[in-house]
Chains A and B, each alone.
Chain A
Amino acid sequence: MQRVQEFYNAKQGRYGSFSFVDPWDGTEYANCSFSSDALELEYREEAKGTLSLVIRNNKA
């Protein structure tokens, strides 16, 4: 969860772009962004919890 936070901060929410490999078929999309300017992390215990995020391919 900490690494996701760091990455999200580094990309400044939906501003930045990055490469993402689709875990379903292994296709690499070179120009993706987070779709939201909010990242919600629910900690169930120390350093463990849930989060959800949507990654958008900028070149549809």
Chain B
Amino acid sequence: MLYYPQLSTGTLAQYPLRKTLHKRTILNECLDNSTVKLADPAASQVQWDLNYAGLSQAEWDAIATLFQAAEGRLQTFVFADPAGNLLRWSEALSSTVWQKDGLVQLTPGMSDTAGTTRATQIANSGQITQGLSQAVTAAGWFRYCFSVYARSRTATTVTLTRSTVDGTQSQTETLGSEWRRLESSGQIDGTAEEIVFTLEIPASGTVDVFGFQVEAQPQASPYKLTTNQGGVYSQTRFVDDFISPIIVGINDYSVQAKLVSKAGD
């Protein structure tokens, strides 16, 4: 599988960037001034216009190599939306995209950091560590930041883990009664094409959590709610059959890359 590359900074894009959502509605305007509408969800697309400046030779080579491998706009590749949250159903922890250990109990509707009641209380009624996780089908060797807001009425710890078949990185954090945004950032070398993000709660622990987020970058950006569509687009293509870098100087490239993907893939 092909993957759109990260830059040496651990990000996929530079700002400003443009993202456009395209839908298709069939509209029939009748002689009696009424209209009939028909949605065409299969035609939905997302387009990104990425403008890069100051790319190194290696960074430009990575984009050019992907362009060659994809044969311009012919083949698809995986793109992690730089303006998105790679997790699906970031607040619906009862969704099947979240794998829950058997002794995890979820209580939604708790007060959250946004002043609403979208947080979830997670209780581990067992005598061993239990957790919930979500697998993301994306390049396992990218740098990711896994973040979540958490608190606990009684002092406890939680562990954030990023794991692939090539390795695991964990980080244990102590919680108090105030909301804290926990972040686990890093890179696991290898060739894995799936990465799993897990929150583990110790035996008899109870924590409130809100705003799970994963981004293909070193640090967390403001939280973005997701539902069925996460930020991983596996059917992405280049829009054009050409890509034209400007060589500003030695080891200094500027280039515009236009990508498009089916939405909801």
A interface residues (Cβ-Cβ under 8 A, vs B): 1-3, 5-6, 8-9, 12-16, 37-47, 49
Contact between chains at B18 and A46 (CB < 8 Å): no
Closest-by-CB residue of B relative to A38 is B22
- Kindly provide the distance from the CB of A8 to the nearest chain B CB, expressed in whole angstroms: 6
User: Which residues does chain A contribute within 8 Å of B84, judged by CB atoms?
Assistant: 2
How far is B16's CA from A49's CA once the two chains are assembled, in angstroms? 8
Number of interface residues of B (CB under 8 A): 28
User: Which residues does chain B contribute within 8 Å of A2, judged by CB atoms?
Assistant: 84-85, 224-225
Q: What would 18 more interface pairs be, CB under 8 Å, given A15-B39, A45-B15?
A: A2-B224, A5-B21, A6-B227, A12-B25, A12-B41, A12-B44, A13-B21, A13-B22, A13-B25, A13-B39, A15-B23, A37-B25, A40-B19, A41-B18, A41-B83, A43-B83, A46-B222, A47-B224
A13-B24, A37-B25 given as contacts; is B221 within 8 A of A47 (CB)? yes
- Selected from B16, B20, B24, B38, the residue in CB contact (under 8 A) with A39 is B20
Q: Cβ of B165 < 8 Å from any Cβ of A?
A: no
How far is B144's CA from A2's CA once the two chains are assembled, in angstroms? 20
User: Which residues does chain B contribute within 8 Å of A49, judged by CB atoms?
Assistant: 16
Closest-by-CB residue of A relative to B227 is A6
Contact between chains at B23 and A13 (CB < 8 Å): yes
- Kindly provide the distance from the CB of A51 to the nearest chain B CB, expressed in whole angstroms: 9
B-side binding surface: helix, strand, loop or mixed? loop
Q: Total number of A-B contacts with CB less than 8 angstroms?
A: 76
- Selected from A9, A42, A43, the residue in CB contact (under 8 A) with B21 is A9
A-B pairs, top 8 by smallest CB distance, nearest first, are A13-B23, A46-B221, A15-B39, A47-B222, A2-B224, A37-B23, A15-B25, A39-B21
User: Which residues does chain B contribute within 8 Å of A3, judged by CB atoms?
Assistant: 225
Contact between chains at A42 and B18 (CB < 8 Å): yes
Q: Cβ of B17 < 8 Å from any Cβ of A?
A: yes
User: Which residues does chain A contribute within 8 Å of B39, judged by CB atoms?
Assistant: 12-13, 15-16
How far is B22's CA from A14's CA once the two chains are assembled, in angstroms? 10
Q: Cβ of B263 < 8 Å from any Cβ of A?
A: yes
